[in-house]
Structure 1
Amino acid sequence: MKPFEQIIYSNTPAIGKVVDFDPTKDKLLPLDFTSNNKELTDEILDDTDLFSNFINQKLKDSGACYGIGGYDEHRTIYSRSTHFDTEEEPRRLHLGVDIWGPSGTPVYNFYDARVHSFANNYHFGDYGATIILAYEIDGLTFNALYGHLSAASLKGLEPGQFISKGAKFAEFGIQKENGGWPPHLHFQIIQNMYGLKGDYQGVCKFSEREKYLNNCPDPNVILKATFENEHSTRF
């Protein structure tokens, strides 16, 4: 087990929620955005309203409150934006976990943190409103990037500002302010920011997979850790 995983699992009772979720009654729907998903046509991907309707219908049909997934997933959906194109190789490998749900969905801080940085990364396909929080747990320091937020989530923030565990500090943004995506949260762990502020790529070239996954461990470790507490009603 890697150091990040060890620290999180050893502190499971102290890890709070990221979004409201009760595992005794709420349901998650795994969503696949690789080439294996033949339902996602170019027509759907080229129209954000159609894409949103596609996801909403999937959630409704399954009775799920959120769609979930994406870490280390080689996705075809990034072909919808030139933001992910490079001359030598397009970026397609997703480095975070996406939680798909209604705009306005509250986002909570899972552990005491300070604001590392924030920005409105508004380009089609980008994060839109983005907040990065800095954490220290048992001597391990890391950052969490929260992307595709509402523009209002950035109001009143200051670098170094303390955000307590359990505090609601953001919301899922609408497509006009979240980079042109169906409403969802991009949740990504970043160990070394390499001097970047308010942004860090959430999608890398497949040829750079090992380098980026080493710096961006699986966020599911945090999300799943909450279930290991028998009294947990968090996600």
Structure 2
Amino acid sequence: MMTRQKQFEKYLADPTHRIYPVVDFDSTTDRLCPLDFTSNNIELNMQILSSTETFGDWVSAKLADSGCRYGIGGYDEHRTIYSRSTHFDTDLEPRRLHLGVDIWGPAGNPVYNFMDAEVHSFKNNDHFGDYGGTIILKYQMDELVVYGLYGHLSLASLDGLSVGKAIAGGTAFAVFGAPAENGNWPPHLHFQLIFDLQGRTGDYPGVCQFSQKATWLYNGADPNLVLQHTFNSTDVNRD
């Protein structure tokens, strides 16, 4: 029997299924800057991370210095940056493994739906370090159901939504939120794909305990497989 991951990959590989860009990007002029939030990045210390404004200035400087429109990265990344918030602490082991891809850019940047979907749920997850404005869309890929979680959105992005509302592929349906409404992060989009929401609405963990990595990754798909229709791998600036 084909696994859900293989079903997902097969669906995306079918050229009759159109996959739309998630953000505006012109591959002839725009560039991407990979951002590393693991312990390997010794430049990003707690003095920077302790202030959302300072952290945001650091991200903005990285994009400006590299001439890039967006920063990107994070899937299956063991990150140190979550130590800035108790939201990711647990009694046994802190949550540090990132389950989505982050696209870093300015507040107000539009977010597009990558294919036809309906609204599953939405919520303002307003703890420090959480998602802030969050929308979960439900995608039907032949027999496979996949949920797309879009986090760190503006609160205005939630206006006018209702469960079951249809959102066509290619439609701009949300924007990056400012820190005051996106969980106190520098503006960015958290994009995550999930097979089973396990009864949750408007929320699903985007960071897990490293010891449970295999379980959490098994219940999701690599968002880069969708984002390759937005960005080409050759666009990433690795200088």
- TM-score surpassing 0.5? yes
List structure 1 runs of 4+ shifted beyond 6 angstroms.
none
Correspondence for 1:47? 51
Asked whether the 8 Å contact 2:191–2:223 carries over to 1, the reply is yes
C-alpha displacement of 1:226: 4.8
Please tell me whether residue 14 in structure 1 is matched to residue 43 in structure 2. Answer: no
Please tell me whether residue 64 in structure 1 is matched to residue 68 in structure 2. Answer: yes
Correspondence for 1:231? none
Please give the root-mean-square deviation of Cα atoms over the aligned residues, in Å.
Answer: 1.3
Amino acid of the structure 2 residue aligned with 1:28: L
Structure 1 140/11 Cα, relative in aligned 2: closer, same or farther at 3 Å? farther
Q: Secondary structure at the match of 2:189?
A: strand
Name which of 86, 91, 97 aligns with 1:93. Answer: 97
Correspondence for 2:174? 170
Asked whether the 8 Å contact 1:12–1:225 carries over to 2, the reply is no
Correspondence for 1:34? 38
Amino acid of the structure 2 residue aligned with 1:224: Q
Correspondence for 2:205? 201
Number of aligned residue pairs: give it.
Answer: 228
C-alpha displacement of 1:47: 0.4
Please tell me whether residue 144 in structure 1 is matched to residue 148 in structure 2. Answer: yes
Structure 1 192/11 Cα, relative in aligned 2: closer, same or farther at 3 Å? farther
Map 1:114-153 → 2, pairs under 5 A = 114-153=118-157
Correspondence for 1:232? none
Correspondence for 1:221? 225
Asked whether the 8 Å contact 2:154–2:181 carries over to 1, the reply is yes
Runs (5+) with no aligned partner, structure 2 = 233-239
Q: TM-score scaled by structure 2?
A: 0.93
Identity of aligned residues (%): 62
C-alpha displacement of 1:3: 2.4
What does the per-residue CA deviation read over 1:30-74, in whole Å, with 9 as the maximum and x for residues that have no partner? 100000001101000000000000000000000000000000000
Q: Distance in 2 between matches of 1:204 and 1:158?
A: 29
Q: Distance in 1 between matches of 2:192 and 2:15?
A: 19
Asked whether the 8 Å contact 2:11–2:17 carries over to 1, the reply is no
